[in-house]
Structure 1
Amino acid sequence: MYMIKRTPVYNLPLSERPSMQFIERIAGLMDSRFQLPGTRFRFGLDPIIGLIPVVGDVAGFAVSGALILYMIRFGASRELVFKMLGNAVLDATIGSIPLIGWVFDASYKANKRNIRLLKEHYHEGKHQGSGTGMLITVALILLVLLVLLIWGLVALSRWLIGLFQ
């Protein structure tokens, strides 16, 4: 079996690098397509579809995941992919909390952050390496969020039970 060695995208001349217009348009649609009248605050479809319980958060995470897969085709390093996944998971996790999640979705803009990371990777050669530290960090953050979620559910359950007694 022959292996084709691909040159990393950030090492290609600018004229030979693939266009990022597609992923920039999708990220803009999800994170900053609309503007609140009279303000500079922008938001996209992510917080809007996030209003639909469970389905909206899963759909937003699926779009973020698809964008990350597309960015992998652009030559994103493993470290960069872990950072992007961390952004998407954080957005999906906190975004699933009613009300707080909607505000977080509207302000965090995970897809735009991932585009910025990819551009830094392209133009500056940043975010290269194994990404093991990022994976451990994301796992620890998810563990803390899980513990906080369980604690919150237990506290909410106790409060609800107290109302009916």
Structure 2
Amino acid sequence: MSDSPPRFSMIEPDAKAPTLKRLRQLSRLLDNIITVPGTKIGFGLDPIIGLIPIGGDFLGVMFSSYIILEAARLGVSRATLSKMVLNVIIDGLVGTVPVLGDLFDFAWKANINNIKLLEDYLKFPSQQKSANRWFIFAVLVGLLLISIVLIALPVILIRILWNALTGG
């Protein structure tokens, strides 16, 4: 019988703190790096990247997906990963709506919410079963498909609008 403590994740316990620190920094960079002077209102690169036509929301989802991938490597449960993915899907899909989506990006902090979910999970990791590799693979494929939709949807809408305006 081994004297080593039970493992709850694919990352050694000593590596969790630096990983969590790195994910917190990325989350802050994406969601809250700049604070409006005199207020508690902050925003990050995610809403700024979202202003880039067509590919901006795709890039935002890719950065957010990295946080989810690292959370999976830390051994986060299916339930927690599912909540994290839902945050990113909401951020990505609403972000595609012109103007409204850009304003929404300033208010919806998907990455900060996901770090809170990760931290809550890491407080009591043995209470929930970690996600298996197939579930993680399915999550990543799903995020990739969402990213493709985020590129295709604006292109389709622009084409429809162009045809309506030009009569073509």
The TM-score with structure 1 as length reference comes to: 0.69
Q: Displaced runs of 4+ in structure 1, greater than 4 A?
A: none
Partner of 1:119 in structure 2?
119
Cα separation, partners in 2 of 1:129 and 1:18, compared to 1, 3 Å: closer
> Following the alignment from structure 1 to structure 2, what is the Cα–Cα distance between the partners of residues 48 and 28?
14
Hey, what does 1:18 align to over in structure 2? 16
Aligned-pair CA distance for 1:126: 8.9
Whole-angstrom CA distance in 2 between matches of 1:41 and 1:65: 24
1 CA distance for matches of 2:8 and 2:14? 11
Aligned to 2:8: 8
- Is this contact kept in 1: 2:87–2:110, CA < 8 A? yes
The answer to whether the 8 Å contact 2:35/2:43 transfers is yes
Which residue does the alignment assign to 1:60? 60
Would you say the 8 A contact 1:50–1:56 is kept in 2? Answer: yes
Q: CA 1:112–1:127 in 2, change beyond 3 Å: closer, same or farther?
A: farther
Structure 2 regions of 5+ residues with no counterpart? 1-5, 132-138, 140-145, 147-152
2 CA distance for matches of 1:93 and 1:26?
Answer: 21
Cα distance, 1:126–1:34 mapped onto 2, change above 3 Å? farther
Structure with more relative contact order (C-alpha pairs < 8 Å, separation 6 or more): 2
Residue 79 of structure 1 and its aligned partner are, at CA, apart by 1.3
Overall identity of the aligned pairs, in % = 35
List gaps (5 residues or longer) in structure 1: 1-5, 136-141, 143-148
Distance 1:95 1:126 in 2: 35
What is the aligned partner in structure 1 of residue 34 from structure 2?
34
**What is the identity, as a one-letter code, of the residue corresponding to 2:42?**
R
Which SS does the other structure have where 2:82 is aligned?
helix
One-letter identity of the residue aligned with 1:57: D
1:82-118: CA deviations, max 9, x gaps? 1111111110000111111111111111000000001
Contact 1:31 1:46 in 2 (8 A): yes
Contact 2:8 2:130 in 1 (8 A): no
